[in-house]
Amino acid sequence: MHKSRIIISCCIVLLLNIKVVAQDAHFSQFYSAPTFLSPSLAGSTGGTRFVANYRNQWPGISKAFQTFAVSADFYLSEYRSGFGALLVTDKAGSANLNTTYLGLQYSFRVPIGDDWQFVPGLQFTFGQKSLDRSKLLFPDEVVTGSPSSGQVYLTNTKAQYLDLATSVFFYSPKFWIGAVADHMLRPNYSFMGDKSILPLKFVNFGGMNLWRANVSRIEEPRFASLSYRFEYQNGFKQLDIGGYIYGQVLDFGVWYRGLPIFKNENIQNHLIDNDALVLTLGVSTGPFRIAYSYDLQLSSLSTYGAGAHEISIIWEIDELFECVDCFSRRNTLQFHKNRPRNMKVN
């Protein structure tokens, strides 16, 4: 029985290691974590916004992955500039492997004609990875039952680093597309005195508005959109594609995550190429929106992982300017605060 538990534990560790090697933390509700998605979206509501996100991945596995994020951003129309701050904590495994970072963001809007805007962005990051050495279990401890000598190789239990991300974003009343390059400084986060370089991450996202109801300017909008997000990091590829239907109070979203026709270099037997179906329900009242989503796993991990739960809370205030986030439910992409949507920001 004891050996069986050890084997099961080792399998879980291997599964967790797949995720650590393959990708950074992520949110299924990526448009509900806008500045986490791209620094170019800092200040994208034209006012001030506060966001909180929580993700519990694989709750069926004890102490698997939990991710927390809080952010604040605002826009200064006088300078055509958005500013943001993003704090993220990702916890993984029984050894409390924590990744925490603070990102300071800047974006600048450049009008292109009457309809399009170009928004480059930057994020400067200070991060730290840490673990609890006392909770690590080494192979010789399992075999001999005595304390391991392996801990001597862990010269540190904390690794601090600086990093940089750059982004671009184009949008119009109908379409939007963006790209992000993260870990530009290739920081070293090794606990053992050698090199463990954080691999570059590239993200491409975009979408279009499919339909909008004919409502008066004082009513909340009703519309539908289709969008995608593609990520590449260290051989790992991930695609999310789906859409939302927005009502006056409720919004619904369905997303598919996976790339079953492509091979992921870091994933044995294509474990997560056909990953999950994500179902989202949001409720909006005034400047607040609360959304819940569940990742219904389609891969072989579904029996053990039990999917993922995610909650997001958004508070938007001072929406005084003409350019509004493409992904805000109050963006009709035609009118905002009784003003034509194609008006430029001064």
Which residue range(s) make up the domain with 303? Answer: 2-340
How many angstroms separate the CA atoms of 277 and 50, rounded? 28
Percent of the chain with pLDDT over 70: 67
Residue pLDDT, tens place only, 184-234: 999 987 777 678 888 999 999 999 998 766 555 545 567 789 999 999 998
pLDDT for the residue numbered 65: 85
User: pLDDT confidence of 346, banded at 50, 70, 90?
Assistant: very low
pLDDT for the residue numbered 7: 38
User: pLDDT confidence of 32, banded at 50, 70, 90?
Assistant: very high
User: pLDDT confidence of 251, banded at 50, 70, 90?
Assistant: very high
**pTM attached to this predicted model:** 0.78
pLDDT at 11 over 60: no
Cross-strand partners of 305: none
Q: Which of 6-15, 34-43, 229-238, 319-328 has the highest mean pLDDT?
A: 34-43
The mean pLDDT value of the chain amounts to 79
233 is a domain residue: yes
User: pLDDT confidence of 303, banded at 50, 70, 90?
Assistant: low
Whether the Cβ atoms of residue 237 and residue 264 lie closer than 8 Å to each other: yes
- Please state the domain count of the chain: 1
pLDDT at 319 over 60: no
pLDDT at 2 over 50: no
How many angstroms separate the CA atoms of 214 and 45, rounded? 22
Alpha carbon distances (Å) from 158 to 72, 118, 124, 130, 223: 27, 39, 20, 4, 47
Which residue, chain included where needed, has tokens 């506060």? Answer: 50
Residue pLDDT, tens place only, 136-179: 665 555 555 555 555 555 566 788 999 999 999 999 989 999 99
How many angstroms separate the CA atoms of 239 and 28, rounded? 11
Region 9-28: mean pLDDT is: 56
Residue 127 backbone zone (phi > 0: left; psi -120 to 50: alpha; other: beta): beta
pLDDT at 337 over 90: no
Residue pLDDT, tens place only, 64-79: 789 999 999 999 999 9
Whether the Cβ atoms of residue 47 and residue 73 lie closer than 8 Å to each other: no
114 is a domain residue: yes
119 is a domain residue: yes
Region 50-63: mean pLDDT is: 85
User: pLDDT confidence of 318, banded at 50, 70, 90?
Assistant: confident
The continuous run of DSSP H or E covering 339 comes out as strand 339-340
346 is a domain residue: no
How many angstroms separate the CA atoms of 181 and 203, rounded? 7
**CA-angle at 305, arms to 303 and 311, nearest 5°:** 130
How many angstroms separate the CA atoms of 46 and 258, rounded? 34
| b (16+ CB within 10 A) / e for 169-207 | bbbbbebbbbbbebbebebebebeeeeeebbebebebbb
Structural tokens at position 236: 């790992």
Sign of CA dihedral 335, 340, 345, 346: negative
32 is a domain residue: yes
User: pLDDT confidence of 59, banded at 50, 70, 90?
Assistant: confident
The CATH number linked to 123 is 2.40.160.40
pLDDT at 330 over 50: no
Lowest mean pLDDT among 43-57, 58-72, 266-280: 266-280
Comparing 161 with 346, the larger pLDDT belongs to 161
Alpha carbon distances (Å) from 261 to 226, 273, 337: 21, 8, 45
Which residue, chain included where needed, has tokens 């401890």? Answer: 141
| CA nearest to 264, candidates 24, 19, 6 | 19
Report the 10 Å Cβ neighbour count for 33. 24
How many angstroms separate the CA atoms of 198 and 190, rounded? 9
Which residues lie closer than 8 Å to 1 by C-beta, 6 or more apart? Answer: none
Residue 303 backbone zone (phi > 0: left; psi -120 to 50: alpha; other: beta): alpha
345 is a domain residue: no
pLDDT at 24 over 70: yes
60 is a domain residue: yes
pLDDT at 12 over 50: no
pLDDT for the residue numbered 13: 44
- Residue ranges of alpha helices (H) inside 99-227 are 139-144
The one-character DSSP state at 248 is: S
pLDDT for the residue numbered 144: 56
Alpha carbon distances (Å) from 95 to 65, 131, 153, 187: 12, 6, 16, 22
14 is a domain residue: yes
pLDDT for the residue numbered 258: 87
Region 275-294: mean pLDDT is: 94
Comparing 149 with 12, the larger pLDDT belongs to 149
pLDDT for the residue numbered 134: 64
Report the 10 Å Cβ neighbour count for 80. 19
Comparing 247 with 310, the larger pLDDT belongs to 310
